[in-house]
Amino acid sequence: MLMTHNNKPSLINILKTNNPNKKAIIVPNEDSFTYSELTKNVNKLTKQLIEFGIKKNDRVAIYLTNKPETIIIFLAISEIATAAPLNPAYTASEVQFYMEDINAKYLITSEEPKYKEAFKGCPSNAHIITINYNNNEFCLIQNDNLKNKSIEKNSSKNNNSDDVALILHTSGTTSRPKRVPLSHKNIYISIENISESYNLTSKDISLCIMPLFHIHGLVASTLSTLFTGGTIILPEKFNALNFWEIIRSYKITWVSAVPAIHQTALTRIKTNSNPKEYTKNLRFIRSCSSPLSAQTMLEMEKILNIPVLEAYGMTEAAHQMSSNPFPPDKRIPGTVGKGTNVDIAIMDNNDNLLSNGQQGEIVIKGENVIHGYEDNPEANASSFSKGWFRTGDEGIIDEEGYIRIVGRIKELINKGGEKISPIEIDETLLLHPAVTEAVAFAIPHKTYGEEPSAAVVIKSPITEKDLIKHCKEKLAAFKCPRSIKIVDSIPRTATGKIQRRIVAEQFSKSSE
């Protein structure tokens, strides 16, 4: 049964449960934490942060991998200040850039050798705090600069739902990364929407394999599970070798990830003679953060015999905006379903809302959506129109409310005025049995300005000529790539997203 939290001042409220002795987090083959232990640790670290002088509106960076302490310290920080999770793969210069960009004066990390980049990259005016663990209890270790820091009392709690709990950056593939301030209310609303969309209850067991420095892993896999009193299985990272065994042995009921992970997992289980042995407890699989091809979705459902639900999310909306529904409602391959308690519409370049069936920019409105980027009036002016947030995605909403994403507006291929969706080319290439991954992108053309090209990863021998012929059989001539590169791998972000412009630049250089 979904718990309702009418009062939303602090995310720590999600730990309120009728069963404090129930397992909240389990690390495969390692430690586990009950809701009572989780709450105790969060309260202890919150108290320590206050003792260190950290207060409301301070920014505290987190440089840790997917471990229980990452969840615990996030909840503790958000109780009194603003948490800023960083990718633990960041170099020293990246740590410095992101901390300086958000004016973070504190960084929480570990003394383990693999976190040494955080120490090297921490700005000179910032304080490093390390987190230690012993016998199911965590403790923060302060440095000398903090020991004599004066404590400002009675100003340390986030007591307003509009207080910023979390600050993240956009990917910044086409410009400087933008700062996205997410309030407690933004996150709470998104958690409620996710929980309702998938009928999450205390009986559910979620497998979290998305990174906790990313909105997908933090809000969908983690906070939504804690909100409904479920259990999180938390391996430190995705491992294709033990993925299905973890799902079987820990009786996972749902998992959310990017298509690249689903495709890898699907390839592995196809070699198993009895895949249903591993999926008998799974209620559904969720895909989000980048487009899932219709072909992959249908193949997954056929082999696994469970619903595969594609969702649509973004950082600025505290993650989820829409999702394909459970049976018996229709799941339409190639769409991201309907809005999930979020208003979604299509808008033209003149701020006019369009009718169903018309193509334009997808816009959203809801309490989960930020009011604006931080200190970026130019981005706010271009991203907000008449109360709607412009997603930057080109799309169509059909008569039943199902949303089809055509592509990122800046990534659409403009061939002599003809707008071509790279996603359509991706899906066409993935229909070929020899292709396991595909990404289409624009390359310069002297006459047309741009023309389509693509890169593919294959699992059996095939020639470029044959792949182009395959496209010509299924696409209008102007949409067909004139060149297709066969590569060993396609570069992705740390969260599994393909950045088409970066891919285009890389492959264009390699062919010069």
Q: Where are the domains of the chain?
A: 13-159, 185-408, 412-510
pLDDT score recorded for residue 146: 54
What's the CA gap between 137 and 373, in Å, rounded? 37
What's the CA gap between 67 and 60, in Å, rounded? 18
What's the CA gap between 117 and 135, in Å, rounded? 27
What's the CA gap between 370 and 384, in Å, rounded? 10
pLDDT score recorded for residue 7: 54
The conformational region for residue 72 under phi > 0 = left, psi -120 to 50 = alpha, else beta, is alpha
CA dist 13 → 26, 194, 223 (Å)? 20, 17, 11
Q: Are strands 127-134 and 164-169 parallel, antiparallel or unpaired?
A: unpaired
pLDDT score recorded for residue 159: 65
Contact status, residue 283 vs residue 309, Cβ threshold 8 Å? no
pLDDT score recorded for residue 509: 59
pLDDT score recorded for residue 171: 62
The conformational region for residue 257 under phi > 0 = left, psi -120 to 50 = alpha, else beta, is beta
What's the CA gap between 346 and 212, in Å, rounded? 31
Let me know the angle formed at the C-alpha of 234 by 233 and 235, rounded to the nearest 5 degrees: 120
pLDDT score recorded for residue 447: 78
pLDDT score recorded for residue 63: 97
Cis peptide before 328 (omega within 30 of 0): yes
pLDDT score recorded for residue 75: 97
Phi and psi angles of residue 263, each rounded to the nearest 5 degrees, phi first: -65, -40
pLDDT score recorded for residue 102: 96
pLDDT score recorded for residue 511: 47
Phi and psi angles of residue 97, each rounded to the nearest 5 degrees, phi first: -60, -50
Please enumerate in sequence order all residues whose Cβ is within 8 A of that of 112, keeping only pairs 6 or more positions apart, or say none. Answer: none
pLDDT score recorded for residue 506: 77
In sequence order, what E strands does 306-424 have? 308-314, 319-323, 338-339, 343-347, 360-365, 384-385, 388-397, 403-408, 413-415, 418-420
The conformational region for residue 86 under phi > 0 = left, psi -120 to 50 = alpha, else beta, is beta
Task: Tell me if residue 313 falls in helix, strand or coil.
Answer: strand
412-510 sits in which CATH class? alpha beta
Q: Which amino acid is at 23?
A: K
The CATH number that domain 13-159 falls under is 3.40.50.980
185-408 sits in which CATH class? alpha beta
pLDDT, block means (10 residues), the chain with 512 residues: 49 86 96 96 96 93 97 96 94 91 95 89 92 92 61 59 93 70 96 97 97 96 97 96 96 94 91 87 94 90 95 96 95 96 97 96 97 95 96 95 91 82 89 93 84 93 95 88 91 75 71 46
Contact status, residue 192 vs residue 41, Cβ threshold 8 Å? no
Q: Comparing C-alpha atoms, which of 141, 65, 68 is closest to residue 106?
A: 141
Contact status, residue 25 vs residue 231, Cβ threshold 8 Å? yes
pTM: 0.85
Let me know the angle formed at the C-alpha of 227 by 158 and 154, rounded to the nearest 5 degrees: 15
Same fold, 185-408 and 412-510: no
The one-character DSSP state at 292 is: P
